[in-house]
Amino acid sequence: MTAWTNWAGTATAHPQRVHRPRSDAELAETVTRIAVDGRTVRPRGSGHSFSHIAATDSDAIDLSAWTGIVAADTGTGRVTVRAGTTLRALNADLDRLGLAMTNLGDIDAQTIAGAISTGTHGTGARYGGISTQVAELELVLADGSVTRCSSRRRPDLFAAARVGLGALGVISTVTLMCEPAFALDAREYPAPLGQVLEGFDESAADNDHFEFYWFPYGSKALVKCNNRLPVGSTTAPLSRFRQLVDYEVVENAAFGALCRIGRAVPRSVRPLGRAASSVLSARAYSDVSYRVFVTHRAVRFVESEFAVPREALHGVLAELRALVPKLHDPVAFPVEVRVAAADDIWLSTAYRRDTAYVAVHQFVGMPYRKYFAEFAAIAGAAGGRPHWGKMHDLDAVSLRERYPRFDDFLRVRKEVDPTGVFTNDYLDRVLGPAG
Ligand SMILES: Cc1cc2nc3c(=O)[nH]c(=O)nc-3n(C[C@H](O)[C@H](O)[C@H](O)COP(=O)(O)OP(=O)(O)OC[C@H]3O[C@@H](n4cnc5c(N)ncnc54)[C@H](O)[C@@H]3O)c2cc1C
């Protein structure tokens, strides 16, 4: 038995067996054996989900030996990659090929299969989450068979498996539509929250990748606008020294120290939050896309995120702003707001609606349950859909109401995994028991 815990320490498990396949054939053989023996199995990525989605006390499949690019067409941007490849490795490999992912989230530690399975996203009103870049998937199903799906081949399986929660099979390879490498111009600046909210629609429309962080107890938000530069533009990256100061010293070491003080002396959180909000500073630079999208997060936190219809954002934030000062326990981490374009993936949080994402966080070890529960109620009243990899308490009954194709997903699940080989407690809760 090998103990497993996720990045945030919010989920632990003791799998009976951990399998580490090194080939397609080994992967298929592993799944077949587990199914024949009547056990269950979870494929796992880098353990960066906050929820229990990857946890199992039965069999786990670790894909860290199943990595790398299998095929790449630099003309079309079509790239096939093994499921266990981390986004960090993928970004570097793509860059060497003169290619890049269209959009990315905040970090690059996730595996490509883990990222798409929970609907991982970045920001950008004209851009979808990572799963929208998927052109084809190869999966090992519960009976050990290997299948491929795309918009033409097994389209229902494709619509389900692009954000499949690891419930339909083990993704073996992911084929992505990438684009020629590009650079981003990054502008970050503090601004009064009221002003940011007033100009929100315009900013989301005018920038390729727009987001902001609101620091509870302060009056200011930190705005981030990343825009694509024309091909061939010269970039002005942050110097190594500035990176060290900004990311490692200010964002990680100093912020981490503030959080630790706040955890030890909770009454200091509100004044510290106000102080942090007032010393936010501006910065401008440009760099290769993935170096701008991705940041290093060393300070551990817990997180819940809901996707709400874009037009509901102002109401949701107004209620959240009213809630935070009333909470008994203070909030040490900022609220992050992002946007995404509607897509057609059945369990995508942006399914058929232009979306605003609101993410609430708390420093590890500080009380968060009441905060997250009240936030979930606010977002839920606006039809909010929880990120599958982040913390929430919803079950299949309430999720069915929020996903028009929920029953189609269950139909596909029943077809490809009729006995629940891939289930765990989390899936039993959010999808209902398999079979
Ligand atoms: C610091 C931090 C920052 C984050 N930033 C963002 C962000 O900016 N945007 C965002 O949307 N999310 C973000 N997340 C959430 C994160 O992207 C997701 O939870 C993601 O799923 C984690 O990927 P992973 O490789 O760690 O997968 P895991 O958490 O290990 O697994 C996630 C799911 O994928 C399934 N899975 C893994 N491999 C396979 C496979 N081969 N076949 C089928 N299913 C598989 C697992 O069974 C599980 O259901 C962040 C998380 C952290 C900790």
pLDDT (0 to 100) of residue 246 = 67
pLDDT (0 to 100) of residue 250 = 66
pLDDT (0 to 100) of residue 296 = 82
The token duo for 9 is: 């320490």
pLDDT (0 to 100) of residue 275 = 75
Backbone angles phi, psi at 6, to 5 degrees: -85, 175
Nearest protein CA to atom 12 of ligand 1, as residue = 120
**Per-residue pLDDT tens listing for the chain (435 residues):** 679 999 999 999 999 999 999 999 999 999 999 999 999 999 999 999 999 999 999 999 999 999 999 999 999 999 999 999 999 999 999 999 999 999 999 999 999 999 999 999 999 999 999 999 999 999 999 999 999 999 999 999 999 999 999 999 999 999 999 999 999 999 999 999 999 999 999 999 999 999 999 988 888 899 999 999 998 899 999 877 667 666 665 676 677 778 888 888 888 888 887 877 777 788 999 999 999 999 888 889 999 999 999 999 999 999 999 999 999 999 989 999 999 999 999 999 999 999 999 999 999 999 999 999 999 999 999 999 999 999 999 999 999 999 999 999 999 999 999 999 999 999 999 999 987
| Ligand 1 close to Cβ of residue 273 (< 6 A) | no
Characterize 100-124 residue by residue with b for buried, 16 or more Cβ atoms within 10 angstroms of its Cβ, and e for exposed. bbbbbbbbbbbbbbbbbbbbbbbbb
How far apart are the C-alpha atoms of 29 and 22, rounded to whole Å?
11
pLDDT (0 to 100) of residue 245 = 63
- Specify the pairing of strand 99-100 against strand 69-73: unpaired
| Element of type H or E holding 414 | helix 406-416
Please, which residues have CB within 8 angstroms of residue 136's CB and are 6 or more apart in sequence? 80, 148, 149, 150, 153, 158, 174, 175
pLDDT (0 to 100) of residue 261 = 82
| Element of type H or E holding 302 | strand 301-309
Question: 398 alpha carbon to ligand 1 midpoint, in Å?
Answer: 22
Q: The pTM is what? A: 0.96
pLDDT (0 to 100) of residue 219 = 85
Characterize 354-390 residue by residue with b for buried, 16 or more Cβ atoms within 10 angstroms of its Cβ, and e for exposed. bbbbbbbbbbbebebeebbebbbebbbebebbbbbbb
Cβ-in-10-Å burial (0-12, 13-18, 19+) of 41 comes to buried
How far apart are the C-alpha atoms of 248 and 237, rounded to whole Å?
16
pLDDT (0 to 100) of residue 252 = 67
Cβ-in-10-Å burial (0-12, 13-18, 19+) of 322 comes to exposed
Amino acid at 258: L
DSSP class per residue in 207-267:
SSEEEEEE-TTSSEEEEEEEEEPPTTPPP-PPPHHHHIIIIIIIIIIIHHHHHHHHHHSGG
What pLDDT, in 10s, does the model give residues 20-77?
999 999 999 999 999 999 999 999 999 999 999 999 999 999 999 999 999 999 999 9
51, 117, 123, 131, best to mutate for ligand 1 pocket (most atoms within 8 Å of CB): 117
- Specify the pairing of strand 283-288 against strand 170-177: unpaired
Q: Are 41 and 97 in contact (CB under 8 A)?
A: no
Q: Which atom of ligand 1 is nearest to the CA of 116?
A: 21
Q: Which atom of ligand 1 is nearest to the CA of 426?
A: 49
Q: Are 61 and 43 in contact (CB under 8 A)?
A: yes
Question: 83 alpha carbon to ligand 1 midpoint, in Å?
Answer: 12
The token duo for 54 is: 């990857």
Question: 192 alpha carbon to ligand 1 midpoint, in Å?
Answer: 33
Nearest protein CA to atom 1 of ligand 1, as residue = 297
Please, which residues have CB within 8 angstroms of residue 26's CB and are 6 or more apart in sequence? none
How far apart are the C-alpha atoms of 203 and 199, rounded to whole Å?
6
How far apart are the C-alpha atoms of 168 and 160, rounded to whole Å?
8
